[in-house]
Amino acid sequence: MKKEEKQTIFFNNKPYIIGYYSIVGPKEGKGTLGEYFSEVSDDDFFGQKTYEKAERTMLEKALKGAVDNAGVSYDDIKLFLSGDLLNQIISSSYAARTINIPYVGVFGACSTMAESLALGSCLVDGGHFETVACATSSHFSTAERQFRFPLELGNQRPPTAQWTVTGSGADIISSKGKGPRIISATFGKVVDFGISDVNNMGAAMAPAACDTLLTLFKDTKTKPEDYDLILSGDLGKLGSEILIDLMEYHGVKLGLNYKDCGQIIFKRNQNVLMGGSGCGCSATVLNSIIMKKLISGEYKKVIFMATGALLSTLSCQQGDTVPGIAHAIVIEGDNNE
């Protein structure tokens, strides 16, 4: 029987992550994690004519890479779960057009990697599918164009702004095989603390991250010290500091094992202000250094919590505040039996 505790689902069969892949653009390749990514492109057009086409090419490559990494073929993948930041999630849907696999588009803004992994794990654990693929992508130039200003406009970025990561990550989850295992998933609520500055996503998402993390600790009856790593998605420098403050306010102290993907992906001198953001940020960090360390056994238990800001350009122009969301999964390292 499946134990369900409020927002957290515990997986009896603990699905395996049998394959993973990350692909990034040139700027990310020059960042701190450059050597860990599966593939670094030196062309942010990825050989395409437009950035939108580039983003979906990147996603296709990530999926192909993950399938190869898992040592399976496309025929073995029974479902493809994917989402991205562009209107009507075109990167995912157009990437799915090129493969002959049933597709479910998901949207959780920058939380999509955790969202798709959590959903994928549920489907695999429930025995409905043997093997599914989960993926997401983001591209600096497509996001910038959709949410902000033209690339060549000579404006200054506010100090709280973040830099959308050009990158895509994909995972293959299966009930059979070998690899790190997903042991639980915590689905987050939409939380809005009234931040209306669209250039301050970290502050808008931190309350949602806090809510999900507190729920996770409560539902799983664990403490931050029980994990080798607590990884948030793209809160950035300001957002993760706020999260630490909020957690402390609720009596939970996050220690040195807490890290934020947005903060670690770029180097300090890369002029990215508060750090990285976007679906690709958490997806590529997870599917590079984190997966490698989970497989090598350096990490035994990791919380992967991706955060998303659920706004649109329309909602913010109409003066609405920015709602946040955070989904979390707990991954167990390879050598944990």
Partner 1 sequence: MDEIERNKRYNSYVEAKIAKTHAWPSLFNAFWVGGLICTLGQVFNDLILYIFPNVSTQSAWAYTLIILIFLASFLTGIGVFDKIGAFAGAGTIVPITGFSNSITSPAIEFKNEGIIFGMCAKMFIIAGPVIVSGTVASMIVGLIYLIF
Q: In terms of CB distance, is 133 or 206 closer to partner 1?
A: 206
Min CB(189)–partner 1 separation in Å: 14
Residues that bind partner 1 (CB under 8 A): 49-50, 52, 145, 149-157, 159-160, 192-195, 200, 203, 207, 238, 241-242, 245, 321
Task: Write the CA distances from 328 to 17, 84, 135, 139, integer angstroms.
Answer: 16, 18, 16, 23
Q: How many CB atoms lie within 10 A of CB 127?
A: 9
Q: In terms of CB distance, is 145 or 218 closer to partner 1?
A: 145
Q: In terms of CB distance, is 52 or 115 closer to partner 1?
A: 52
Contacts of 328 (CB under 8 A, 6+ apart): 114, 118, 185, 186, 188, 212, 213, 216, 303, 304, 305, 306
Min CB(311)–partner 1 separation in Å: 16
CA quadruple 265, 266, 272, 275: dihedral sign: positive
Task: Write the CA distances from 310 to 80, 168, 186, 320, integer angstroms.
Answer: 22, 20, 18, 11
Are 51 and 45 in contact by the 8 Å Cβ rule? The answer is yes
Tokens of residue 70, six digits: 């898992």
Q: In terms of CB distance, is 51 or 299 closer to partner 1?
A: 51
Q: In terms of CB distance, is 127 or 251 closer to partner 1?
A: 251
Q: In terms of CB distance, is 160 or 270 closer to partner 1?
A: 160
Q: What are phi and psi of 162, to 5 degrees?
A: -120, 170
Min CB(145)–partner 1 separation in Å: 6
Q: In terms of CB distance, is 64 or 148 closer to partner 1?
A: 148
Q: What is residue 258's three-state secondary structure?
A: strand
CA 162 vs. chain centroid, Å, equals 15
Min CB(42)–partner 1 separation in Å: 17
**What is the rounded CA–CA span in Å between residue 3 and residue 11?**
8
Min CB(90)–partner 1 separation in Å: 13
> 292: buried, middle or exposed (CB in 10 Å: 19+, 13-18, 0-12)?
middle
Min CB(191)–partner 1 separation in Å: 11
| Ranges assigned E (strand) in 206-298 | 229-232, 258-260, 276-277
User: What is the number of helices (H) and of strands (E) in the chain?
Assistant: 11, 15
Q: In terms of CB distance, is 321 or 336 closer to partner 1?
A: 321
Min CB(304)–partner 1 separation in Å: 25
Min CB(87)–partner 1 separation in Å: 13
**Helices (H), ranges, 157-229:** 201-220
Min CB(149)–partner 1 separation in Å: 7
Q: In terms of CB distance, is 73 or 317 closer to partner 1?
A: 317
> 55: buried, middle or exposed (CB in 10 Å: 19+, 13-18, 0-12)?
buried
Tokens of residue 17, six digits: 């992550």
CA quadruple 247, 11, 103, 134: dihedral sign: positive
